[in-house]
C-alpha cells in the first residue's frame, strides 16, 4: 500500500530521498550534509530561494546555497543590512529605516535621520558586533497588508513601499525586537556573520528621486570569517592602485572638469580606445547584417509621452524648448529607432530587421552617484533595436547571446547571466509579461545557461537578460542586456505585413553589448591594470634610439610603422633609461631600442611588457607580427611575437 504522505526530495547531485512528513529545509539538508549544514545559508527549492526554516510539504528539488555562490553573498549581505538597521534604530530612536538591499560588493541601508558623526559610526559598529555575537534568529512571518500598515504606521517610507505592493499578504522578518518589511530570504541567525565593517556613509534620496527627502546611506561589507574580511581589505588596497580615474589622468586618456560635472572630456588617447571598440563593434554587426542608423539627440515631449518615458523615466531626463514647444534630450535610443522603422512599409520577409546605433544619451543622474566613467550623465551606447515576429524570438535572442559571448571572449572576460522580471512600474498586461518572461526562460534553459532570476528588475516595457562580467579582482559588472519588448510597438502602432497578408504588431528586442562604451573602457582599464590589449593600446610601440647618431635609423622605422598603421612614438629626449621608464609608465606594450649593432645588422632590440628577456628581431618581421596581432586582436603579447 502506497503512503500518500510520502514526499520525494530530489537533491542537486541527482540523488533522491523520501520523507514521510513535511520537514524544514534545514532538517532535509542535514540528512544529506551532516555537520556541513552549518555553512549553508539558504536553499533553492524548485529553483526558488527559500529560508532554511521553510517547510517542504510536496515533492521538491533542493540545492544548498553557500556564501561562495552569488545568491549566497546577496542573501548574506541583505541579512547584514537588517543587522545594521537593528543597530542603528536601537541607537538612534527617531531614525526611520527605508530600504537596505545587497549590492555587488556588500550592502547599504538608507535612513531618514541626522548626519552621523565619526563617534556615531563607531557606536553603531559596536552595537553590530554585539548583535552578531548573539544567536538571534531571522524569523519570517506573513501578515495581511492591513496589519502591515498598522505595524509601520510611524514610518511613511514603509507605507509608501506598501502602497506599491499589489499582494494582499506581505512578509516581514524579525530579528529580536527589530521588524522589517522584506521578501527575504535570510540567513538563519545573526551569528553567521563573523566580520562586519561600515565602509562609507553618503547622502542619497529616497528611491533615488531628487524630489524625495535626503537619506543617510550607510554602506557596509560582511563575511562569514575574519580571514575573508582581511582578504577583502587587502584586495581593496590593490584595487586603489588601478583606479581608472587615476589611470585616465596618468595615461592622458580623459579628464573631468567642474564646468561639466558628470561629463567626460575624452582626450586623443582615450578616443583611440573608444574608436577601436566601435570599429570592432561595427565589424561584428556588419557580418550579422545590422543596419547602422543615427537618430537626433532632442525629440518632442509628445514622443516621450507616447513611449512611456515621460511617465516612467522623467526624473532622469533633461528638457529644453524649441519654437516654444517642450522637447527632451534623449536618455535612450529606442523611440528614435522606432520612428526610423515607421518611415516605411515593412513585411515579414524583412525580419529580423536589425537597426544598430552607436548613440549618445544623456541622463540626469544625481551628483552623489557620479563616479568617473562608471557613472556619467552623458555616455555612448552600442545600441540595437531588432524588429521581429513572435516566432523568431528564440532564434534571434540566441544569435544575440552568441554575439555577447564572442565579444566578451575577445577580452578574456567571464560572465554570468541574470533574468530580470516585471517591475512594479511596468506597462502592459499580465499575459504579455508572462509570455515575454516565459520566452526568455525557455531560451536560457535550452542553452543550458546557469542563470539567476532577479525579480522586479526588468525594464518598464519588458523583461530582460543581463550579462554580468567578472573582472580580475572578482568584481561583477552588468554590461550587456537583451530586453524583450511587447509594449512600445503597441504604443507606437508599429506594424508589418504577415504571411497572411494582414497587418500585425512586431516584437522589438532592445540590446547592448558593451553597454555604455565609456563605462566599458573604465572596466577594461582596471581589469587589465592599465595594460590594455595591443589593439586597444593608444600607442603600440615606442622607438628609442640609443644616441643622436641612431636617430635617422629610428626615424625610418617610425615612418615604416606609421605607413603600416602601427601607432608609434619616437622618443629622443632625455636618457635612455628615463625614456624606457616613460614608456613603461605610459603602458606602451612594445619598446624598440636601436643602437650601433641594430643599425649594422638591420635589426631592432625589442622589450615586451611582461617578458624579461629582450629579443633581437628583423624590423620587417616585427612589423608583420604586430600587424597580425592588431588585426586579429590577439590578447596575449607573447602570442604575437612567438
Q: Which one is catalytic: 82, 363, 468, 540?
A: 363
Q: How far apart are CA 316 and CA 361, in angstroms?
A: 11
Helices (H) and strands (E) in the chain, counts: 20, 35
- Show the CA angle centred on residue 343, arms to residues 342 and 348, nearest 5°: 55
Q: How far apart are CA 244 and CA 202, in angstroms?
A: 21
182 is catalytic: no
510 is catalytic: yes
Q: Which one is catalytic: 78, 180, 362, 381?
A: 381
Concatenating the DSSP letter of every residue in 348-391 gives GGG-SEEEEEEEEEE----GGG-BGGGB-SEEEEEEEEEEE-GG
Concatenating the DSSP letter of every residue in 462-480 gives B-EEEEEEE-TTS-EEEEE
Q: Which one is catalytic: 110, 112, 180, 383?
A: 383
Q: How far apart are CA 378 and CA 360, in angstroms?
A: 7
Q: How far apart are CA 492 and CA 297, in angstroms?
A: 19
380 φ, ψ (degrees, to nearest 5): -110, 125
Q: How far apart are CA 425 and CA 458, in angstroms?
A: 10
Residues 6+ apart with CB under 8 A from 365: 262, 316, 375, 376, 377
| C-alpha distances out from residue 470 to 478, 495, 526, 536, 634, Å | 9, 40, 12, 20, 20
User: What is the 8-class DSSP label of residue 94?
Assistant: T
363 is catalytic: yes
Q: Which one is catalytic: 50, 205, 377, 464?
A: 464
Q: Which one is catalytic: 309, 385, 540, 607?
A: 385
Q: How far apart are CA 236 and CA 232, in angstroms?
A: 6
68 φ, ψ (degrees, to nearest 5): -70, -20
Q: Which one is catalytic: 346, 510, 511, 527?
A: 510
Q: How far apart are CA 59 and CA 19, in angstroms?
A: 10
Q: Which one is catalytic: 96, 158, 217, 334?
A: 334
Closest to 84 measured CA to CA, from 219, 182, 189, 225: 219
288 φ, ψ (degrees, to nearest 5): -90, 10
Going through 153-294 in order, the beta strands assigned E by DSSP cover 169-175, 178-181, 195-205, 214-223, 254-255, 265-266, 291-292
361 φ, ψ (degrees, to nearest 5): -120, 160
Q: How far apart are CA 545 and CA 113, in angstroms?
A: 64
334 is catalytic: yes
**Helix, strand, coil shares of the chain as percentages rounded to 5?**
40, 30, 30
| Preceding amide of 352 cis, omega within 30 | yes
Q: Residues 512-547, buried b or exposed e (16+ Cβ, 10 A)? A: bbbbbbbbbbbbbbbbbebbbbbbbbbbbbbbbbbe
Local structure of 616: helix, strand or coil: strand
- Other Cβ atoms less than 10 A from the Cβ of 176: the count is 15
User: What is the 8-class DSSP label of residue 549?
Assistant: G
Catalytic residues: 334, 363, 381, 383, 385, 464, 510
Amino acid at each position: 500500500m502506497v503512503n500518500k504522505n510520502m514526499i520525494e526530495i530530489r537533491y542537486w547531485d541527482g540523488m533522491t530521498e523520501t520523507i514521510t512528513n513535511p520537514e524544514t529545509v534545514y532538517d532535509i539538508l542535514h540528512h544529506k550534509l551532516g555537520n556541513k549544514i552549518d555553512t549553508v545559508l539558504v536553499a533553492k527549492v524548485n529553483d526558488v530561494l527559500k529560508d532554511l526554516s521553510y517547510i517542504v510539504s510536496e515533492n521538491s528539488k533542493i540545492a544548498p546555497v553557500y556564501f561562495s555562490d552569488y545568491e549566497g553573498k546577496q542573501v548574506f549581505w541583505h541579512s547584514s543590512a537588517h543587522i545594521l538597521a537593528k543597530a542603528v534604530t536601537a541607537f538612534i530612536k527617531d531614525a526611520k529605516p527605508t530600504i537596505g538591499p545587497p549590492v555587488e560588493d556588500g550592502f547599504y541601508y538608507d535612513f531618514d535621520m541626522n548626519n552621523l558623526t565619526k563617534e556615531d559610526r563607531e557606536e553603531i559598529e559596536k552595537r553590530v558586533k554585539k548583535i552578531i555575537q548573539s544567536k538571534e534568529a531571522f524569523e519570517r512571518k506573513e501578515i495581511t497588508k492591513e496589519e502591515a500598515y498598522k505595524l509601520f504606521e510611524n514610518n511613511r517610507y514603509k507605507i509608501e513601499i506598501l502602497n506599491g505592493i499589489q499582494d494582499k499578504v506581505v512578509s516581514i522578518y524579525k530579528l529580536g525586537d527589530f521588524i522589517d518589511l522584506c521578501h527575504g530570504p535570510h540567513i538563519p541567525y545573526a551569528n553567521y556573520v563573523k566580520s562586519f565593517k561600515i565602509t562609507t556613509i553618503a547622502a542619497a534620496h529616497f528611491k533615488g528621486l531628487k524630489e524625495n527627502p535626503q537619506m543617510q546611506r550607510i554602506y557596509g561589507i560582511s563575511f562569514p570569517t575574519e580571514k575573508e574580511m582581511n582578504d577583502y581589505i587587502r584586495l581593496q588596497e590593490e584595487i586603489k592602485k588601478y583606479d581608472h580615474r587615476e589611470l585616465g589622468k596618468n595615461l592622458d586618456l580623459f579628464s573631468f572638469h567642474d564646468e561639466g560635472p558628470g561629463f567626460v572630456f575624452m582626450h586623443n588617447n582615450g578616443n583611440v580606445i573608444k574608436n577601436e571598440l566601435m570599429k570592432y563593434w561595427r565589424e561584428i554587426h556588419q557580418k550579422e547584417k545590422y543596419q547602422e542608423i543615427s537618430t537626433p539627440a532632442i525629440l518632442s515631449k509628445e514622443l516621450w509621452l507616447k513611449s512611456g518615458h515621460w511617465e516612467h523615466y522623467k526624473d532622469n531626463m533633461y528638457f529644453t524648448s524649441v519654437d516654444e514647444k517642450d522637447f527632451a534630450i534623449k536618455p535612450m535610443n529606442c523611440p528614435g529607432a522606432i520612428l526610423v522603422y515607421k518611415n516605411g512599409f515593412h513585411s515579414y520577409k524583412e525580419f529580423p530587421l536589425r537597426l544598430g546605433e552607436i548613440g549618445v544619451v544623456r541622463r540626469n543622474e544625481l551628483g552623489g552617484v557620479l563616479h568617473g566613467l562608471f557613472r556619467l550623465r552623458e555616455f555612448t551606447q552600442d545600441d540595437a533595436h531588432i524588429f521581429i515576429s513572435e516566432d523568431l524570438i528564440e532564434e534571434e535572442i540566441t544569435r544575440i547571446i552568441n554575439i555577447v559571448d564572442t565579444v566578451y571572449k575577445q577580452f578574456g572576460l567571464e560572465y554570468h547571466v541574470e533574468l530580470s522580471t516585471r517591475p512594479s512600474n511596468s506597462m502592459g498586461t499580465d499575459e504579455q509579461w508572462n509570455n515575454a518572461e516565459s520566452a526568455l526562460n525557455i531560451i536560457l534553459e535550452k542553452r543550458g545557461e546557469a542563470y539567476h532570476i532577479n525579480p522586479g528588475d526588468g525594464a518598464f516595457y519588458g523583461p530582460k537578460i543581463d550579462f554580468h562580467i567578472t573582472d580580475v579582482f572578482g568584481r561583477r559588472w552588468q554590461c550587456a542586456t537583451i530586453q524583450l519588448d511587447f509594449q512600445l510597438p503597441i504604443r507606437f502602432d508599429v506594424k508589418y505585413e504577415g504571411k497572411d497578408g494582414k497587418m500585425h504588431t512586431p516584437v522589438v528586442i532592445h540590446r547592448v553589448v558593451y553597454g555604455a562604451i565609456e563605462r566599458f573602457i573604465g572596466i577594461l582599464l582596471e581589469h587589465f591594470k592599465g595594460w590594455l590589449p595591443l589593439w586597444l593600446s593608444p600607442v603600440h610601440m615606442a622607438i628609442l634610439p640609443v644616441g643622436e647618431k641612431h636617430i635617422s635609423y629610428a626615424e625610418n622605422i617610425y615612418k615604416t610603422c606609421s605607413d603600416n598603421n602601427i601607432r608609434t612614438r619616437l622618443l629622443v629626449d632625455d636618457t635612455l633609461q628615463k625614456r624606457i621608464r616613460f614608456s613603461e609608465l605610459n603602458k606602451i606594450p612594445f619598446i624598440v631600442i636601436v643602437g650601433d649593432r641594430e643599425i649594422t645588422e638591420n635589426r631592432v632590440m625589442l622589450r615586451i611588457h611582461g617578458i624579461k628577456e629582450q629579443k633581437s628581431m628583423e624590423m620587417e618581421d616585427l612589423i608583420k607580427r604586430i600587424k597580425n596581432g592588431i588585426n586579429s586582436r590577439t590578447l596575449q603579447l607573447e602570442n604575437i611575437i612567438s
